[in-house]
Structure 1
Amino acid sequence: MVDVGSMRLRLLLLAVLAGVAAGVVLSTVLQEPSEYERRVLELVDEAREAIRSVRGLSVPSGVDVHVVTREWVVETWGKPSASGEEAEAEEAVYKLLLLVGEDFNITELKLKWTGMFVAASLGGDLYVVREYFDPGSSEAFEVVVHELMHVVQGEFFKVPEVESYDERCAISALVEGDAGFTARLCARRGEPAEAVAVEVKASWPEVEGDEDAVIELYMFPYRFGEAFVAELYKAGGWTLVNEAYRRLPVSAEQVMHPGKYLSGEEPAVVSESTWSLGWPVVKRDRMGEYFILVLLLRWLPEEEARAAAEGWGGDLLVLYSVSGGYAVSWDVEWDTPADAVEFYAAFNDVCSRAGGRLIDVGVWAIRGRYVAVRLCGTRVSILAAPELPAQWRRSGLLPGYIGAALHIEA
């Protein structure tokens, strides 16, 4: 059996990338079909028939195949999305919450990630990267099926744009999981689909440094998506998988724990924190269980990190603009007070392992800023900022932290 997991480390749902016109003929496409192109086209024809047979859906006609280079991919797809206000805000969140160090550069990472693409679909066309895609390899057929499935998805299913990072993770997992599971079944035609579905398992992230941490965030759809779709298939066949495009998963938690999707368990709506900051808001977001898992894995042993990430109930992150940079507040709701206590302890452990200096209960001085962690019932509230706001001393919102503020100012 082909293990396509390693190949999927180099794949990304490119439909979210802007600025590339659909159907454009690239300068790197050869004028006359080469042997390489001929073999790619043969794979496309084989994949078309396999998708129709296995998935019951037809690949639209008129899919053009473009042979491109890694350099073209980085220049055309990578650079437009690797910098700008959105990338800057993403980097700020990662640094403020201690996912990465101060030297981490999001632009460099995004360009590196884009440079790993093997194949992609965009605008109804198929793109293969000459340096990486070998049409004679054992993985090639599954890669082509995977990417053609994205063309099929664009034809048959309309996926809306959503606001939160967590919800985007969930929808991407459905899209990538459907493509991956279909590719697996196409490669194993003749075997009972139900038996193949039983074999599909999620793969857990491995985090050993800054780049690993961020890449693992990007990897969520590929690590958990196929197992999620396989669970839907076991529960209701392609009918239930197709229905998922109409009743989309709304959180990474639902994907990681498919029973929560099937039972309709959704995240709690988390109200904005009572930190009383008054800073200009850059963005609001929901980060989700998987983000918490990767964040904890960056610093803690796997067993401890996984246990502390479970029981997530919802969250609200707010990124603020402050003088000379950013601040972030993050309110995380948990299913039970015990879950909240576990995460509270784990995040304080993260602060310690990241080099923080404890200056009062739940208040850390670290990397030229302050991180405050508050526990109240089922909620853990975190604030990371360049300075402790003066209103903390007046509001009474942080009993136990007032002394810390006075101590720092002294």
Structure 2
Amino acid sequence: MIVTHDHVVTLLVAATLLVSGCAAPVAESNYGAWPDDPRTDRIGWESGYWYNESIDVDQSDGLNATERDAFVARTMARVERVRGLEFEESVDVDVLTRAEYREQSGGDGEAAGPGWNDQLWEALLLVGEDRTVESVFDDLYGDAVLGYYSPSEERIVVVSDAENPVIDRATLAHELMHALQYQQFDVRGAPRTLDGRLAEDGLVEGDARYVERLYEERCDGEWDCVSRPDREIPRDDFDRGVYLTIYAPYSEGPTFVRSLRDRGGWDAVDAAYANHPASTEQILHPEAYPDDRPVEVAVPDRAADPWSRFDREPVGSTVGEAPIFVMLLRRGAIPSATLERDTGAYSRYNYEANASAGWAGDAVVPYRSDGGEFGYVWATEWETKRDAAEFSAAYETALRTGLNATRAGPNTFVVEDGPYADAFRVTRRGTRVTVVNAPTRGQLDAVHERPR
């Protein structure tokens, strides 16, 4: 559920998506007789179609209006059958050209002001000073998004330049599940941190992806299904670190939802919408939900002129366990093979490693100077002193190996050139690890004076 301008976006590189182009002819065998239309709406029947009813759909020349209506209606009935919930109203499926989508979209959904959000992602060593977060997300979404659900407009949009686009059945089911979520639950909470948004997405996207997978399992067995179109070749020039961060809910969310369902059936999943996951730690470790909540991390303001915090509330954000894993992975502190090791039945990747597990809470607070320079203080709390030591060592490895930093003094590192050319002070006290960042070594104390 990557939300931009009130859109729940699905990415080309994330999964099998709504795809435009040509597909092989599809023909379904008849099931035989099916029940008459019910007198009132019910689960497994929508707009004149039962979930197990054959439809006359041939995508070899695209979908005309009649085919699209039948395809959407039966998919709605099937999503109801899988999930055990009733659509309260129909869902429109429309088409935007790529140019129209680019014109309407932009940014990553945060309006924190210039510099603040850039410092958040720079603290994760994922977006350096040669770029802005907005430009990275614009590039990722502009070329990669092939479909989204708009809650405010209550419609699914296919992004395509084809006059009659074809639709991937699995992603249609996925996006329709988003529509069902918004009709049935209070989906949109008010997470104000990166970790909070990714955690909520772990439930919402996890539910949709899990239903999508269950749908596909039935297509492999009991259901006749519209053939899936050829997939477009995924782009290989996208920002992999940012992508892996925002993809964490898609990868780990289905396993989280499966865990809830194993505990208490779909009722347990439904109940989670009234008690959203509080952190990506709970998504990655379902046993931590709902009781193991993150600790609040306070960062005392010890800045000296000309440095100050941004005039906003809250002053900082929490990044969480999943983004920390990605940071360490991308900067060589976690072996790259870890990402695809022991992924499980419903997870695309693995986001767990010793250096990021044991996270208990964190806070990133960006700073700026009167001269237009930027820095930040990032305080992390860990479950044990050993967890803190493992993270601290891995973070220093990320600086040295990933950014070619050199040690400039006790606990102090300097990156001489490149988009992360800054000074870093890394200190560990008990279960807390604090990173202070400034343009130069001499400015570290001005951003955050050492405690006396």
**TM class, shorter-length:** 0.7 to 0.9
How large is the RMSD of aligned CA atoms in angstroms? 3.2
- 351 and 132 in structure 1: CA distance in 2 versus 1, 3 angstrom threshold: farther
Q: Which amino acid aligns with 1:267?
A: P
> In 2, Cα distance between the equivalents of 1:143 and 1:373?
44
Asked if 1:151 corresponds to 2:179, the answer is yes
Q: 2:154 aligns with which of 113, 124, 127?
A: 124
| Residues 209-220 of structure 1 aligned to structure 2 (within 5 Å) | 211-220=239-248
Q: 1:226 aligns with which of 254, 259, 268?
A: 254
Shift of 1:191: 8.9
Q: 1:174 aligns with which of 199, 203, 209?
A: 203
Match of 2:387 in 1: 339
CA-to-aligned-CA distance 1:121-174 (integer Å, 9 cap, x gap): 10211111225899756xx11111111111111111113212111111100110
Residues 43, 144 of structure 1: 8 Å contact kept? no
Q: Which amino acid aligns with 2:266?
A: W
Match of 1:255 in 2: 283
> In 1, Cα distance between the equivalents of 2:181 and 2:361?
29
Residues 379, 434 of structure 2: 8 Å contact kept? yes
Asked if 1:286 corresponds to 2:318, the answer is yes
- SS across alignment from 2:299: coil
Residues 428, 434 of structure 2: 8 Å contact kept? yes
CA-to-aligned-CA distance 1:228-278 (integer Å, 9 cap, x gap): 11111111110000010011100000000000115x111111121475557
- SS across alignment from 1:285: coil
Ranked by relative contact order (alpha carbons within 8 Å, sequence separation 6 or more), the top structure is 2
Q: 2:296 aligns with which of 265, 269, 273?
A: 269
Q: 2:368 aligns with which of 313, 321, 340?
A: 321
Deviates more, 1:87-96 or 1:147-156: 87-96
Going by fraction, where is helix more abundant, 1 or 2? 1
Residues 203, 257 of structure 2: 8 Å contact kept? yes
| Residues 3-402 of structure 1 aligned to structure 2 (within 5 Å) | 13-14=2-3, 16-18=4-6, 35-78=63-106, 85-86=112-113, 88-115=115-142, 116-122=144-150, 123-131=153-161, 140-158=168-186, 159-189=188-218, 211-262=239-290, 264-273=291-300, 275-277=302-304, 279-282=307-310, 283-300=315-332, 301-302=335-336, 303=338, 306-322=353-369, 323-353=371-401, 354-366=403-415, 367=417, 368-387=421-440, 388-389=442-443, 397=451
> In 2, Cα distance between the equivalents of 1:50 and 1:390?
58
> In 1, Cα distance between the equivalents of 2:93 and 2:203?
25
- 38 and 281 in structure 1: CA distance in 2 versus 1, 3 angstrom threshold: farther
> In 1, Cα distance between the equivalents of 2:354 and 2:200?
24
Aligned residues: 355
Q: Which amino acid aligns with 2:298?
A: S
Shift of 1:391: 5.3
Shift of 1:210: 8.5
Match of 1:27 in 2: none
Q: Which blocks of at least 5 consecutive residues in structure 1 are unaligned? A: 1-11, 21-33, 193-207, 399-410
Shift of 1:369: 2.3
CA-to-aligned-CA distance 1:66-90 (integer Å, 9 cap, x gap): 1111221111123x65896557433
Match of 2:31 in 1: none
Q: Which amino acid aligns with 1:384?
A: N
- SS across alignment from 2:274: coil
Deviates more, 1:167-176 or 1:183-192: 183-192
> In 2, Cα distance between the equivalents of 1:396 and 1:81?
34
TM-score (normalised: structure 2):
0.71
Q: Which amino acid aligns with 2:160?
A: R
CA-to-aligned-CA distance 1:274-313 (integer Å, 9 cap, x gap): 7555743223111100111011011122459822111111
> In 2, Cα distance between the equivalents of 1:313 and 1:213?
22
> In 2, Cα distance between the equivalents of 1:210 and 1:347?
24
CA-to-aligned-CA distance 1:18-69 (integer Å, 9 cap, x gap): 599xxxxxxxxxxxxx844443322211111112212121223242221111
